[in-house]
């Protein structure tokens, strides 16, 4: 997690890396964009982008895994979900609480949503990400801000965030409704293509891939 090297083999990135079910959004203006954070056990607030940049910054090298069997370790810049919640006087309750993420989306394709268990996300040091490999997130990667719980497949972490809600309902999100992917979305033991390291590697336990 402290590795500060940037992504190897940058040119070898599958096209599904750029897959964007609900977008990408267009005409997004950072001066008017807001992240709305609301729900159970926190103070409600709308953040400007520059306000979010004032939260404690982290840079972490972590591996994400796509449900279509490839993976890539990259250096992510942003802030911890737990620090965002702390800034909202979070009551600390995780039992029966979930985090629902909703994208900005587009008028034509609507929004993308996904819900994850709040306690697991905090425990796994989930991030709100605005940089990758030292650069602002490209639009197709989730500009201006993306959620990431690295114990889950990518479809559980929403790009181009518009709001975060703490809820007591663990409901199907867009990709689960659309194609039957699992609600939990936990990374499964399987053989994955490691695009950065080269070759295929068998991951022998569920959850975040921390080796390599």
Partner 1 sequence: MNGVSMDGRLTDDMCRVPAGTFRQGSTRSPDEQPVREVQLSAYAIDRMPVTNRAYGEFIKDGGYKDPSLWTPAGWEFIRAHDISEPNYWHDPLWGHPDVPVTGVSWWEALAYARWCGKTLPTEAQWERACRGAAGSTYPWGEDEPDPSLANYAPGGEPLERRPTRPNEFPRNVSGFGCVDMAGNFAEWCLDNYVVGYPAGSQDLVVLTAEDDDHVVRGGCGLHDEDYLRCAARDHYHPGLRDNLIGFRCVRPLRTEQLT
Minimum distance from residue 181 beta carbon to partner 1 (Å): 7
Residue (33 or 153) nearer to partner 1, CB: 153
The residues, ordered by sequence, that sit 6+ positions from 189 with a Cβ below 8 Å of its Cβ are 202, 203, 204, 205, 206
Which tokens is 106 given? 């587009």
All residues at 6 or more sequence positions from 47 whose CB lies less than 8 Å from its CB, including other chains: 34, 35, 37
190 three-state secondary structure: strand
Q: Which of residues 157-196 bind partner 1 (CB under 8 A)?
A: 179-182, 188-191, 193, 195
Choose one: 8-16, 113-121, 128-136, 143-151; the region binding partner 1 (CB under 8 A): 8-16
8 lines the binding site for partner 1 (CB under 8 A): no
Establish if 122 lies at the interface with partner 1 (CB under 8 A).
no
Q: State the number of CA atoms in the 13 A half-sphere of 195 facing the CB.
A: 21
- CB of residue 112 vs partner 1: minimum separation in angstroms? 16
- Contact flag: residue 12 with partner 1 (CB under 8 A): yes
Binding to partner 1 (CB under 8 A): which residues in 49-68? 68
Pick 32 or 191: Cβ nearer partner 1: 191
Residue 7 binds partner 1, judged by CB under 8 A = no
Distance between CA atoms of 7 and 152, rounded to whole angstroms? 20
Per DSSP, the three-state class of 63 is strand
Which class for 203: exposed (0-12), middle (13-18), buried (19 or more C-beta within 10 A)? buried
The span from the CA of 60 to the CA of 109, in Å, is: 32
Among 26, 31, 107, 202, the residue binding partner 1 under the rule CB under 8 A is: 202
Closer to partner 1 by CB, 71 or 157: give it: 71
Q: Per CB under 8 A, which of residues 79..108 are in contact with partner 1? A: none
Point out which residues bind partner 1 (CB under 8 A). 12, 14-16, 68-70, 179-182, 188-191, 193, 195, 200, 202, 204
């Amino acid at each position: 997690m402290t590795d500060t090297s940037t992504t190897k083999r940058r040119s070898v990135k599958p096209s599904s890396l750029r897959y964007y079910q609900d977008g990408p959004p267009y005409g997004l203006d950072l001066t008017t964009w807001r992240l709305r954070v609301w729900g159970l056990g926190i103070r409600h607030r709308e953040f400007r982008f520059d306000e979010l940049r004032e939260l404690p910054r982290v840079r972490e090298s972590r591996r994400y895994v796509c449900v279509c069997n490839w993976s890539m370790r990259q250096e992510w810049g942003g802030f911890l979900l737990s620090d965002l919640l702390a800034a909202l006087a979070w009551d600390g309750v995780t039992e029966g609480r979930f985090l629902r993420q909703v994208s900005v989306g587009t008028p034509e394709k609507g929004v993308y949503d996904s819900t994850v268990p709040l306690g697991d996300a905090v425990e796994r040091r989930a991030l709100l990400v605005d940089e990758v490999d030292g650069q602002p997130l490209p639009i197709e990667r989730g500009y201006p801000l993306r959620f990431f719980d690295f114990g889950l497949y990518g479809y559980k972490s929403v790009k181009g965030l518009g709001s975060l809600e703490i809820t007591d309902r663990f409901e199907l999100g867009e990709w689960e409704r659309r194609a039957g992917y699992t609600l939990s979305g936990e990374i499964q033991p399987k053989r994955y293509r490691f695009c950065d390291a080269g070759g295929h590697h068998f991951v022998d336990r569920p959850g975040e891939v921390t080796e390599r």
